[in-house]
Chains A and B, each alone.
Chain A
Amino acid sequence: MSADGFITLKQLYRKPVRTLGLILLGVILSLSIIGGTLIISGLRSGLDSLEDRLGADIMVVPVELRSKAGFNTDILQGNKGYYYVERDYLNSLYNGGIKGIGQISEQYYFATASADCCTAPMHLISYDPKTDFTIKPWIEVSYKDELKDCEIVIGYDINLEPGDVLYFFGVPCTVAARMEQTGTYLDTAVYTTQSTIEALIKNAIDNNLPAYTGTTAPSTHVSSVLINVADGYSIDEVLQAINENIDEVYAVKSKSLITNVAEGLTSVSGIISTLIIVIWILSISVMAVAFVMIVNERKKEFAIIRVTGASEKMMQKMIKKEAFIVSAVGSILGAVLGISVVSLFSESIENYLDLPFLLPSPANLLGIFILAIAAATISGSIAASFAVYRISRLDPALILQEDN
């Protein structure tokens, strides 16, 4: 080991509190960079994932939902309040009364508090396998066959494996597949056919469960209708026709629903970015002041090293090395801590922000990890540059004379 390297390590070891303080600043800097970046990229990935999975040009929902606060987010996050519309009102969508409908399929949402796994209600989404064009493409990634009666496909956040059985109102439902993670409400949903939902509701009513007495059924009611517009028609044209002709429903453009989520994401990203910049400036400033103070405190030591033959460059190298070591150690610790905290609390972050959240892939995670360490280490080294400049202005003779 070179002489300057040896002295640097000795200095760091000799003053453990100061070294730990500087390392802690590196940890804070790196933690804020990696934590903030992961949250922002997680929200962006969640939004992309949600956009990918919308799958339909128009969503038609019961008109009561329109007056609800947070209407757009509620629809996207699946908190539909379980409003239903009678099928009879939708005849014009199917019999050509409204022109321009290319693909059409309906869904029925149902919440159960009786699954044997959870205290939270489970969201069951039933679809018609014959007409569906929004859910099937994603289910097919994990399950190629057609769902049979009492078979379910579960979202990623439900910890069950294919072949496991989940009981709803005493009806055993076999898990056919588990979907890939989306970072959206789809991760907590259970997908099944309309006939399975009918069987569950019948069983709940037969067992005299008061909450389910008078519950509607997919054979007579729907929760939403998804529409893809036919070639030659515009989305706005079809949307307007539905809203003008059917009073019981409200048609909304799927893309416009995303706008609200995107606005939420922009404001959260803005706050996080500002916080990162503020913490960055503060940490660099404190580090810079700390290094200048270290140089001032040790100027006699530097003067002695200088008169014993060390060059000015060697002393500058010592300070640079000290800054690099503490920043690198702090950055690595902060990055590990940041990734651990954000990964472990990702579900809590999603719940708290009420926005879709999907952690980056392992390759991207590694990239962010390396970049955060590099950024924090370089920042620490930059903070030391004032101290390096100060060393170059020290006059050893003057310092040693002062002391006498």
Chain B
Amino acid sequence: MTVVNEKENRKGVIYGVLVAVLGIILAAGTEFVFHGCGVHDDGNYGRCHYAQHVIVAFGILVAISALVSVFIKTKEALVAVSIITSVEAVIAILVPGIIVPLCMMETMRCNTLMRPFATIVSAIILIVSVGNLALIKFRKD
């Protein structure tokens, strides 16, 4: 186990807080602002409703995983957290429309707002996580 120095630890805290905030934005944004379609005429929810729940769950997971890195002091654990948040971000990108299907009409809000929002925020989480991974990997010990 390689214990990181104070400067590297500060970088880990910045990364953890940044990704946690992005995870909260993903979860809260999908739940309250860029949510999926409403209730159908027959009182049932569309398929996108379940996609929305999954995205919110992944947003919370990303936030929790990232916050863990704030308390981590070893390089190996920081690498593991970065890999976990990267994988979570990839899954969050794939959830709307691929893993969980959305409504059939492209003009509906799940396709026009929820999917683009989730894709963009998850892509940013992925870039930040992979960037952090690269920084840790290529850092001179």
Which one of B104, B112, B119 contacts A117 once the chains associate, using CB atoms below 8 Å?
B104
**Across-interface contacts of A12 in B (CB, < 8 A):** none
Choose, from A118-126, A144-152, A245-253, A256-264, the stretch at the interface.
A118-126
**B112 x A345 contact (CB < 8 A):** yes
In whole Å, how far is A17's beta carbon from the nearest beta carbon of chain B? 13
The stretch that binds B, out of A65-73, A157-165, A235-243, A297-305, is A157-165
B120 and A118 form a contact (CB under 8 A): no
CA distance A55 to B104 in the complex (A): 28
Q: Report the interface size class on chain A.
A: 20 to 34
Q: How far is the CB of B50 from chain A (nearest CB, A)?
A: 15
Q: Which residues in B have their C-beta under 8 angstroms from that of A345?
A: 112, 116
Interface residues on B, range: 20 to 34
Which B residues touch A351, using CB under 8 A?
A: 107, 112
Docked-complex contact B116 and A344, CB < 8 angstroms: yes
Which one of A113, A344, A347 contacts B107 once the chains associate, using CB atoms below 8 Å?
A347
Complex CA gap A113/B113 in Å reads 21
In residues 150-201 of chain A, which contact B (Cβ within 8 Å)? 156-160, 187-188
Does B1 lie at the interface of the complex (its beta carbon under 8 Å from any beta carbon of A)? no
Question: Which parts of A330-350 form the interface with B (CB within 8 Å)?
Answer: 340-341, 344-345, 347-348, 350
Residues of B within 8 A of A348 (CB): 112-113, 116
Picked from A114, A159, A350, the residue with its CB within 8 Å of the CB of B105 is: A159
Within 8-43 of B, Cβ neighbours of A (below 8 Å) are at 37-41
Q: Which residue of A lies closest to B116 (CB)?
A: A344
- Whether A158 and B123, one on each chain, are in contact in the complex, defined by CB atoms closer than 8 angstroms, is no
Which of these, B39, B111, B112, B120, contacts A119 with CB under 8 Å?
B39
A105-122 residues with Cβ-Cβ distance < 8 A to B are: 113-114, 117-120, 122
Q: Is B141 interfacial (CB 8 A cutoff)?
A: no
The answer to whether B37 touches A158, judged by C-beta atoms less than 8 angstroms apart, is no
**Residue in A closest to B47 when the chains form the complex, CB atoms:** A117
Decide if A120 touches B108 in the complex (CB within 8 Å): yes
Asked if A117 and B120 sit within 8 Å, CB to CB, the answer is no
Q: With A and B bound together, what is the CA distance between A372 and B107 in angstroms?
A: 29
Within 8 A of A (CB), among B92-141: 102-108, 111-113, 115-116, 119-120, 123
A347-B111, A347-B112, A351-B112 known; A120 and B120 CB under 8 Å? no
Which B residues touch A156, using CB under 8 A? 106
User: Within the assembled complex, what's the spacing in Å between the Cα atoms of A249 and B119?
Assistant: 48
Q: Are B46 and A118 in contact (CB under 8 A)?
A: yes
Known pairs A117-B105, A118-B37, A118-B108. 10 more at Cβ < 8 A?
A113-B41, A119-B108, A120-B105, A120-B107, A122-B105, A159-B106, A188-B105, A188-B106, A341-B120, A347-B107
User: Measuring CB to CB, which residues of chain A are less than 8 angstroms from any residue of chain B?
Assistant: 113-114, 117-120, 122, 156-160, 187-188, 340-341, 344-345, 347-348, 350-351
